[in-house]
Structure 1
Amino acid sequence: MNLHMVIAINRLWALFAPTSYRNCTKRTALAIVVMNLVFIHLVCLPGLIAESLHYEQDPGECYIHVRVSNGLNAWSIAVTVVIFCLPIVFMIVAAVAVWVRERSLMHQHHTGLRLLMVLTVSVCVCWIPYELYYVQYRITGYQNLLVNYLLSTLYNVQAILDPLLIVYSMPSFRAAVACAFRRKRNSVADQGIQLLSRHRTSTF
């Protein structure tokens, strides 16, 4: 989720501070991604420490004992809000800000805006229902297995949609993928012709 927010930050940076954005290096981009991952792990660390101190994990199992009645429940809600809910809100605000900014600048090329918009819509459709359900479950303890299954499936589908949406939204990426498929198809065709030629030669 936070990597989606990094994309939103990238678009905001490009539009609202274009001079410094042009001076951005690969090292800067790598540092942003690394800081994002470090932040996520720091937020999750307190719950993992509490889990190791107060609960015994069975060999081969990997989960955290979160219950409505224990202290880890408050931590779980906080993690959900900070790592999942706030980035979604940020993406929506960023998408609106980028759209307004591009309209005011009369940009002709909207590749970045298109990418941000489709990712934002995808996140809203696939993730918001599950996040709302999860937060209410942590607060009230109410759980419906069928609803949980359907929403978690929709939640996981988003990971499949991301690569497809990125390819669709970026013409250069789309052209590169199409070129790769054409090369693969031509290579297979050439191999077929070579095998057919060898077969005819061996026959005669």
Structure 2
Amino acid sequence: MPAKKTFSDEQVVEKIMQLFWQQGYYHTSMDEIVAASGVKKQSLYNALGDKHTLYLKALQRYHQQTLTTCAQNMQQLEQAGESALTVLGMLFSQGLTTEDHPSGDLMANAVAEFGATDTAVQHATTWFYDDYLTLMAAAILKGQASQQITARQSSMTLAQSLLEARIGLQTRLRQGSRPDVEQRKQIWLTFLKA
């Protein structure tokens, strides 16, 4: 009779996600994953898979957590009557200035490590950025409708430019640089203002 599982998959994946986020895929050994998870190696393999599978699960968890937080924050700001520019500013800087997690963005780190060499990782990062882009474009479209945000370009074009600026900031943060995120946000909001 198989042994009863004594751990939560979600909690284990959360710990592993934090480790990959801090160290990257290639600089994280399976022994470090086992130590961080607190689960025996064979149990980890049986329940959640190998290192690559765990990495994909970590990317999926990051995607879910980040987009859920952004959507909730958007809804709260909109319900409070905040402007589309305020919502967009939140989306631009969300998670970049907190000390609660490793520097940068797990997805930006994945792109930097893998580029286009791993189809599954590329799919995960593209899916994440497409969803983030959709949130930004929706905020811009609302701002354009209320004449708060420039309509000289489409909402999608503006959102793509803003997202690329955010990814650049995430990369700089991961490199150990300390760019002034608030200043960059204000520059972009000034640029986007109608």
Scaled to the shorter chain, the TM-score interval is 0.3 to 0.5
The structure carrying a bigger helix percent of its residues is 1
TM-score normalised to structure 1 length: 0.32
